[in-house]
Structure 1
Amino acid sequence: MDVVCPWAYIGKRRMERAVADLPGVEVVWRPYRIDPAAPVPAEPLAEALRDPMADDLLRACSPGLTPAGNRERVARIAAEEGLGPTWGAAWRANSHDAHRLIALAEPYGVQDAVVEALLKAHWIDGADISDRAVLARVVGDVFPEGPALLETDAGDRRVRDLLLEGKARGIRTSPTIVAGERALAGAQPPEVIADFLADAEEPRELPEEVSRYRWAESLLDQRDPLGALELLQPLLAEHGRDRAVRLLAARAWYASAQLRKARAALEEFVAEHPDDAYAHALLGRTLQRMSEHELAEPHLRLGSAMGTPV
């Protein structure tokens, strides 16, 4: 979820009602960014809404309603959920640091309280939650360690990895509830959430490096090779000689036009694994793109002869 999404706050209230009678449900908050281009420092929301592009985006989010009509609708629903008495954001705020605090709060056991404080600050108090001084005041009582951590780079890599994992999972909206391998998009009614959670299967516990590899592979399939490489960094550092990791990284370097890195990795790879048809074919394609056609030809022939189409 994203703290600058009004449906996230509404969804939080509905989730609380849904899990009240479900024993053993643990809610863990993960980041999503609905406006990753939001500036730092923040800009007044009224000013941002005068941008015609913002108007078009808001209309796409609420078909059949004007942006003003949609804001009135959301405010009404928020009031029905007990949120208020005032309602409405005052700032177009970048939420990255807020998400860092949420991620950092998890091992301290105060994540839900931090999420509540941030949502209230943005949607009810009209605070600028992109401002670190404001964030320190907002979470200081519930997460005393947070303000000092915020002045470092703590949590930055964790948030970026979680955002990439969400993209790899196919998360496309805020809020989305994930239970096991299933996802429920939107701030659904409590009874829908309760039924969804009651039917959820226990997630399979995979080693962290296996999950990271799977998410990187998914991002590459979604044509996000740079995101895949970011998730692969720890695997390359710790398991850099693993055959699957090396080949996936080479694919990502090729797809992101980092051809020198792809070539070096693949030349070493095929020297060690001369029977790998795909590696020969990919090396051939890499050399072709580098205009090394004579060098590419034998690898392309080998790849084709061993069954990998080129």
Structure 2
Amino acid sequence: MRLEIWADVVCPWAYIGKRRVERALAARGGEPVEVVWRPYRIDPTAPERARPLDGLLRDPFVDTALRACAPHLSPEQNRVRVAEVAAAEGFPRWGAAWHVSPHGAHRLLYLAEREGGPALQGAVAEEVMRIHFVEAGDIGSAEVLERAADRAGFADGGRLLRAGEGDREVRELLLRGRARGVRTSPTLLVGDLALEGARHPEEIGVFLDRAGERPARSLPAEVERLHLAEALVEKDPLGALALLEPLLAEYGDDRGVRLAAARARLRSAQVGRARRDLEALVAERPDDSHARLMLASALRRGGEPEAAAVQQRLAEALG
């Protein structure tokens, strides 16, 4: 069984959740569980260069972003609760000092899994969060991240980060998480079964038992990518196009891929390109009422209401 932890390494509940997952796994027998870390961002606006966290926590915008870390608590309640829970979990001290983007840290975690597998990735996650929450270090610093990698036994981590590796892959993973409905940190996923928040070990154990009872299902990689892109079209059409890009390059003649791309272009205001795509799709399949409806929308938005009305009537006649 593969357990994915979708989390932001600057979210305190991610570190507490890590401890609780470890306790749940230690108490559980049966099928071995492989744990992998996946990126999530609670504050996409966090700066690349760290700023002192003291004072920023009173910023309403930052407080709003932090609600994604504990959606059922106010930010102030969350901070008090986190300190109490961290003490109960046995952390020697607690308190992040920096407001900073976790993108570099997420790249390091991705590279650790790529180069050394889930065990190395877990060790890197531990060191990164220890530095951020216990040692009050700046994990936006390349030197600090290299120190975390060295502590975890990932000797090449610093070199790979300096080479810029992992950037595109982490950005795609963020899109995949959004398409799969990840909306808080941490979120545990086994297949399509999700558990949100840093739950107690007993709850995590029940979740894993339930996940283990479900038949494992897997789709071909290109089909999964298409499904994820389609799930993003309405809420993030540019993200959907980013996921579709490899499919368009390799399966550019596939009608499903082309329809998904046309929908995403239409939703992202690329009306002219969407219209050309849809005109070609309708010419190939005149009986495709869905493509005609989208073409009608593209024509309306392009300032051609009469042509749009024709396509609308044809689509309705086709049912």
TM-score by length of 2: 0.89
> Are residues 1:229 and 2:269 paired?
no
> Are residues 1:11 and 2:11 paired?
no
Where 1:135 maps in the other structure, the secondary structure is helix
Measured in 2, the distance between the counterparts of 1:191 and 1:89 equals 28
C-alpha spacing 1:64/1:150, structure 2 compared with 1 (3 Å) = closer
Measured in 2, the distance between the counterparts of 1:251 and 1:4 equals 35
> Are residues 1:166 and 2:177 paired?
yes
Measured in 2, the distance between the counterparts of 1:114 and 1:38 equals 21
Structure 2 counterpart of 1:74, which letter?
A: V
Q: Which residue of 1 aligns with 2:229?
A: 216
What is the RMSD of the two structures over their aligned residues, measured on CA atoms? 1.9
Q: Which residue of 1 aligns with 2:4?
A: none
Q: Which residue of 2 aligns with 1:35?
A: 43
Measured in 2, the distance between the counterparts of 1:212 and 1:165 equals 8
C-alpha spacing 1:11/1:72, structure 2 compared with 1 (3 Å) = same
Aligned runs of 1:230-269 on 2, under 5 Å? 230-269=242-281
Measured in 2, the distance between the counterparts of 1:63 and 1:24 equals 32
Deviation at 1:58, TM superposition (A): 5.5
Where 1:27 maps in the other structure, the secondary structure is strand
Measured in 2, the distance between the counterparts of 1:62 and 1:260 equals 40
Structure 2 counterpart of 1:197, which letter?
A: L
> Are residues 1:117 and 2:127 paired?
yes
Q: Which residue of 2 aligns with 1:92?
A: 99
Aligned runs of 1:266-305 on 2, under 5 Å? 266-305=278-317
Q: Deviations over 1:239-284 (max 9, x none)?
A: 1110000001101111111001101111221222222111122112
Structure 2 counterpart of 1:48, which letter?
A: L
Bigger relative contact order, structure 1 or 2 (CA pairs below 8 A, ≥6 apart): 2
Flag structure 1 segments of 5+ consecutive residues without an equivalent. Answer: none
Structure 2 counterpart of 1:17, which letter?
A: R
Where 1:28 maps in the other structure, the secondary structure is strand
Deviation at 1:285, TM superposition (A): 1.4
Deviation at 1:202, TM superposition (A): 4.3
The match for 1:190 among 196, 201, 224 is 201
Where 1:264 maps in the other structure, the secondary structure is helix
Q: Which residue of 2 aligns with 1:24?
A: 32
Where 2:217 maps in the other structure, the secondary structure is coil
Measured in 2, the distance between the counterparts of 1:128 and 1:154 equals 20
C-alpha spacing 1:63/1:157, structure 2 compared with 1 (3 Å) = closer
Where 1:39 maps in the other structure, the secondary structure is coil
Measured in 2, the distance between the counterparts of 1:298 and 1:175 equals 50
TM-score by length of 1: 0.92
Deviation at 1:65, TM superposition (A): 6.2
Where 2:35 maps in the other structure, the secondary structure is coil
Structure 2 counterpart of 1:92, which letter?
A: H
Q: Is the 8 A contact 1:121 1:127 kept in 2?
A: yes
Q: Is the 8 A contact 2:43 2:66 kept in 1?
A: no
Deviation at 1:96, TM superposition (A): 0.8
* Structure 1: 4+ residue segments shifted above 6 A: 62-66
The match for 2:61 among 37, 53, 58 is 53
- Percent identical pairs in the alignment equals 54
Flag structure 2 segments of 5+ consecutive residues without an equivalent. Answer: 1-6
